[in-house]
Amino acid sequence: MVSVSADPVRDAAARFVARMDAEDWSAADEAALQSWLDEDPLRQGLLLQMQAQWLALTPAAAEVQPPVEAEEQVETAASSGWGRRGVLAGIAASAALAFVGVRWNRNASAYATRLGEIRRLPLSDGSVMTMNSGSELTVSMADQAREVELTQGEAWFEVAKDAKRPFVVAAGKVRVRAVGTAFSVRRRETGVEVLVTEGVVETWADGDAGLRMRLEAGDRAMLSAHAVIDYETGMSSSVDRALAWRGGMIDLNGRTLYDAADEFNRYNQRQIIIADPRIAREEFDGLFRVNDPEGFAEAVKTSLGVALDTSNPAIIRLH
C-alpha cells in the first residue's frame, strides 16, 4: 500500500491510485478523479508520482527480469479514455519498468538502471523519462527550473510544457534545455549525444558562451565541453532507429559490426568480441532484441560467412 502522509492532497492522490487498481473502476470514479485534477494543474504530476510509488511496492514489478519490449504509453490525466487499470497493469507487468531503487523527496530524486534494464518513469511535473541500460541520473524540481543531472548512460525525456520552469539536462559540461518537447541525451566516451524527436531544444557548454546550438525534431548532435564533434539535421528516421531501445530493440541499419557489438554489450553480461579487425568494419542491417546477442551473432555468421565461437558462456567471439 502507498504510505500514509500528513498531506491531504497526497492522501487523496494515493486513494485514487489504489482505486484504479480495483476491478470496478467506474464512470463515476473517473468523473471524481477529473474533478479533483481540475482543481489544481499540479495534481497531474502528483498523481503520476503516486502511481510510480504504488508500482514500486507491487510484487509483480519487483519479480520481473529485464529486458523485454516496452510497448506501453503513460498518458496524461487530461487525456480522454485513460485506461486506468491498463496503465497500472501494463507498467507492473513490463520488466522495462522495474520501479526499484528510487528515492522520492521534494528536493531531488536519484535513479539508476542495472545492466539490461530499461525503465520508464513519470516525474512530478507530468514529464516522463525513459532510462536506458546502466544509466544514473538525479532529478530536481524547483519553482523556477526543472533540472536533471545525467552522470552515466542515456535517457529520453518527454517534457511537460511549463514556460515558467525550463527543463535542463546536464551531462558533464554540456547542457540541453527544453520547455515542452521530446529528446534524448547520452553520455559517450567522446562526448554527449543529443537526439531530438519532437519540438526544439537548445544546447550549450557550461563556461563556453560561443558553443550554443538550436536543435529541432530529427536533429542529432555530438558535443564536448569545447566543440561540436558531429551534427546532422533532418534525420527523423535515423533518430527513431537510434532510439529503438525504448521498445527493447536494437536497429542496426548499416552500423559496423564493431558498433553493433558495442550496442549489444550495453545490455548483456555475455559480451560480443570481434576478433578480426577486418570483420569489425563490415556493415550490417537488422532489427534485434537487446537481450539476444546470440541471435545477432548467428545472423552475422549466416550473412557474412564468418566463424562463430560460443564455447565460452561469457563471450561470443566472431572471427
Q: Which of 49-58, 62-71, 151-160, 176-185 has the lowest mean pLDDT?
A: 62-71
Residue 55 confidence class, pLDDT cut points 50, 70, 90: low
Q: What is the dihedral of CA 314, 309, 68, 198, to 10 degrees?
A: 110
User: What is residue 13's predicted lDDT score, i.e. its pLDDT?
Assistant: 79
Residue 265 vs residue 40, higher pLDDT: 265
Q: Which of 42-46, 93-97, 294-298, 310-314 has the lowest mean pLDDT?
A: 93-97
Residue 3 confidence class, pLDDT cut points 50, 70, 90: very low
Closest by CA position to 301, among listed 225, 3, 282:
282
How far is residue 157's CA from residue 121's CA, in Å, rounded to a whole number? 10
Closest by CA position to 245, among listed 99, 149, 105, 131:
131
**CA angle centred on 83, ends 243 and 32, rounded to 5°:** 130
Three-state SS sequence of the chain: CCCCCCCHHHHHHHHHHHHHCCCCCCHHHHHHHHHHHHCCCCHHHHHHHHHHHHHHCCHHHHHCCCCCCCCCCCCCCCCCCCCHHHHHHHHHHCHHHCCCCCCCCCCEEEEECCCCCCEEEECCCCCEEEECCCCEEEEEECCCCEEEEEEECEEEEECCCCCCCCEEEEECCEEEEECCCEEEEEECCCCEEEEEEECEEEEEECCEEEEEEEEECCCEEEECCCCEEEEECCCHHHHHHHCHHHHCEEECCCEEHHHHHHHHHCCCCCEEEECCHHHHCCEECCEEECCCHHHHHHHHHHHHCCCEECCCCCEEEEC
Closest by CA position to 25, among listed 73, 87, 104:
87
Per-residue pLDDT tens digits for 99-142:
333 333 446 889 999 999 999 999 989 999 999 999 999 999 98
Report the DSSP pairing between strands 220-223 and 249-251: unpaired
Is residue 22 predicted with pLDDT exceeding 70? no
Mean pLDDT of the chain: 81
CA 148 to centroid of chain Cα atoms: 13
Average pLDDT over residues 174-199: 95
How far is residue 299's CA from residue 293's CA, in Å, rounded to a whole number? 10
Residue type at 85?
R
- Evaluate whether 114 touches 95 at the Cβ level (below 8 Å): no
User: Which residue is it, cell 504530476?
Assistant: 45
Q: How far apart are the first and last CA of the chain?
A: 53
Is residue 2 predicted with pLDDT exceeding 60? no
User: What is residue 254's predicted lDDT score, i.e. its pLDDT?
Assistant: 86
**CA angle centred on 86, ends 81 and 91, rounded to 5°:** 130
**CA angle centred on 255, ends 184 and 205, rounded to 5°:** 35
Backbone φ and ψ of 87, nearest 5°? -65, -50
CA atoms within 13 A on the CB side of 293: 26
Backbone φ and ψ of 157, nearest 5°? -120, 130
% residues pLDDT > 90 (the chain): 59
